[in-house]
Amino acid sequence: MAILQLFERFLMSTGFTSITWQEILMICVGCLLLYLAIVKKFEPLLLLPIGFGAVLVNLPLTGLMDDGGLIRYFYFGIEAGIFPPLIFLGIGAMTDFGPLLSKPQTFLLGAAAQLGIFITLLGAKAMGFTFAEACSIGIIGGADGPTAIYLTSKLADHLLGPIAVAAYSYMALVPIIQPPIIKLLTTKKERMIVMSEVKPVPQKIKVLFPIIMTIIASLLVPAAAPLIGMLMLGNLLREAGVVDRLSKTAQNELINIVTIFLATAVGSKMSAEHFLTLSTIKILVLGCIAFSIGTAGGVLLGKLMCVLSKGKINPMIGAAGVSAVPMAARVVQKVGQKENPSNFLLMNAMGPNVAGVIGSAVAAGILLSLN
């Protein structure tokens, strides 16, 4: 009899007796993300740990997100605003700002591509979200996962799961979403425009740029200092030429370790109670709209610059103004070569692409300062 009671007690302690259909559904969603990462290779460095985190958090009785739970400690890095700036440190160390500095007018294209953030913010507010929630949803339009996570963790922590999934999903779908928008807004003649080569930039300017940018951006938008500061510190490590070990660490070991913790912690916010809501569907739809408007904003300003430059600027490079580096720039290159096989737009597109990284960080700082 005692053995039967012990066996019954053991059965009651298993998750099989308490798992709900909602948790089963979310485990399936997590497995879908794993499938997209492993089989389809959509943003695998991020979707794989996010998907596994979603599976873990929906397994009942594990206590992983309770006080003292393992994943709860992972999430502290997001909650305290540590992980996203560290990701920016690694991005800065991997980024060459030369194309942007060679053609500084492309700064404007990076700014124009942030249009989707603010238009979607208004749309989200009209749909009943609070201003803080609307800001967090709008930032998806910047196509910058770490920035979306950083802002959402500060303003609308309860929406982190769907917003992070939307941000990274649309980043992965850049090659599918952007080409139709580019072709809709440009003519064949415009897409065939061959731009002048990107000229080398003196090393002195590359070293001074991150220092000056940090000072100006932080004075203009103090709330953006954690993201901009770490981005520029990483770039300074790269360009200074005297700390190669630190630069390589930021580009490899550091960013890889932080990515594991950050993405797993993001997945842990995809619990059934937080994810299976009407708000999630609205966020996914608004996120797609935000990303599409951001792409269109960059292309439309590109068309204006094309006219003002008398046909010297290919308006397609404006689509790279969203900060999905370097995917958006590669999309521009691919679309351009379909129209003109001898056209190489990649380096010209990298200018607005890296400008978009700066633009999305500044936009996040502006939104933080308004709340």
What are the pLDDT digits (tens) for 211-246? 999 999 999 999 999 999 999 999 999 999 999 999
Question: In the structure encoding, which two tokens stand for residue 257, read together?
Answer: 């370790």
Question: Is the entire prediction scored with pTM above 0.85?
Answer: yes
Q: CA 284 to CA 107: how far, in whole Å?
A: 28
What is the model's pLDDT at position 23? 92
Burial class (CB in 10 A: 0-12, 13-18, 19+), 17: exposed
What is the model's pLDDT at position 69? 87
Question: In the structure encoding, which two tokens stand for residue 67, read together?
Answer: 């006080």
E strand or H helix that includes residue 85: helix 83-94
CB atoms within 10 A of CB 276: 17
Q: CA 277 to CA 66: how far, in whole Å?
A: 22
Yes or no: say if 287 and 137 are a contact pair by the CB < 8 Å rule.
yes
What is the model's pLDDT at position 170? 79
Question: In the structure encoding, which two tokens stand for residue 346, read together?
Answer: 């990649």
Residue type, 117: I
What is the model's pLDDT at position 126? 92
Q: CA 138 to CA 127: how far, in whole Å?
A: 13
What is the model's pLDDT at position 1? 53
CB atoms within 10 A of CB 79: 15
Q: For the CA atoms of the chain, what is the radius of gyration?
A: 22
Q: CA 151 to CA 149: how far, in whole Å?
A: 6
Question: In the structure encoding, which two tokens stand for residue 196, read together?
Answer: 């002048």
What is the model's pLDDT at position 86? 96
What is the model's pLDDT at position 161? 85
Q: Which regions in the chain score pLDDT beneath 50?
A: none
What is the model's pLDDT at position 232? 97
Question: In the structure encoding, which two tokens stand for residue 301, read together?
Answer: 């300003």
Q: CA 339 to CA 334: how far, in whole Å?
A: 9
- Please provide residue 143's backbone torsions phi and psi, each rounded to the nearest 5 degrees: 55, 40
Question: In the structure encoding, which two tokens stand for residue 326, read together?
Answer: 């370097």
What are the pLDDT digits (tens) for 135-148? 999 998 887 889 99
